[in-house]
Homo-oligomer: A and B are copies of this chain.
Amino acid sequence: MPTSTFFNLNDLKRAKLLQAAEKEFARAPLSQASIANIVKLAGISRGSFYQYFDGKEDAFYYLLKLHTDKRRAYFLKLLQEKDGDLMASMDQVFRTMLIELSEEEHLQFLKNAVLNVTHEIEDSFTELFLGKQSEIDAVNQVKNLVDLKKINIVNKQEFFHVMQILTSVTFRNLVDQLSRNLSHEEAIENFRIEMDLLSKGLSKANKQV
């Protein structure tokens, strides 16, 4: 996390710095982004940067958090609008992100993040849907919004795993679209097939229930 000094900055300077960082992380993936470029863009000295952040990773993950926080709010809103229909909400989030990632130029930052997935980044996306695992209420917040009657689970633990599964599969579909340059139609069709499979189950045995 950024230091307190960073949060003490006046809004203008802080915004300018974040914008500079985002621009640099949009230009190049984390490993190739350089602090020199960020400070040049932000018009601050190298030393200052290190007073705000531990290093470029620190800045990167903070930016990523800002992005996913925004999308988490959107996901929760969707759940409400769609009367707790989890699959429909995931579907909508996937479609929205597809569009965002292709259209909004400044989201090149997110593209770079998604294509260069450390487990920390995948965690960020898990949090998008599930909230921070350390905050017990966050999972409940989602669970309370979801219409559990439509979901094939017997307890809260299983709900957690349902979300984990949906997140992994959704996330991988996003990565696929980006890395293989699929068209939106293809990406949505692939996603739909997998969500159907997830819904109805992979094994035939369950039909005997």
Contact residues of A with B, CB < 8 Å? 31, 87, 114-119, 122-123, 149-153, 157-158, 161-162, 164-166, 168-169, 171-172, 175, 178-179, 190, 193-194, 197-207, 209
B118 touches A161 (CB 8 A): no
B199 touches A203 (CB 8 A): yes
Q: How far is the CB of A57 from chain B (nearest CB, A)?
A: 10
> In the complex the two chains form, what is the Cα distance from A205 to B85 in whole Å?
12
Q: B residues within 8 A CB of A202?
A: 87, 151-152, 162, 165-166, 198-199, 201
Give the secondary structure class of A's interface: helix
Number of copies: 2
B166 touches A168 (CB 8 A): no
A193 touches B158 (CB 8 A): yes
User: Are A161 and B197 also in contact (CB < 8 A) when A152-B203, A168-B172, A203-B152 are?
Assistant: yes
User: Are A206 and B197 also in contact (CB < 8 A) when A115-B119, A116-B118, A164-B172 are?
Assistant: no
Q: B residues within 8 A CB of A178?
A: 119
User: Most chain-B CB neighbours within 10 Å: which of A87, A190, A206?
Assistant: A206
B204 touches A201 (CB 8 A): no
A194 touches B175 (CB 8 A): no
> In the complex the two chains form, what is the Cα distance from A162 to B197 in whole Å?
7
Extra 14 A-B pairs, beta carbons < 8 Å, given A122-B172, A150-B204, A200-B209: A87-B202, A117-B118, A119-B175, A151-B204, A153-B197, A158-B193, A164-B172, A165-B194, A166-B202, A198-B202, A198-B203, A199-B203, A199-B205, A200-B201
Q: How far is the CB of A108 from chain B (nearest CB, A)?
A: 16
A205 touches B150 (CB 8 A): yes
A151 touches B117 (CB 8 A): no
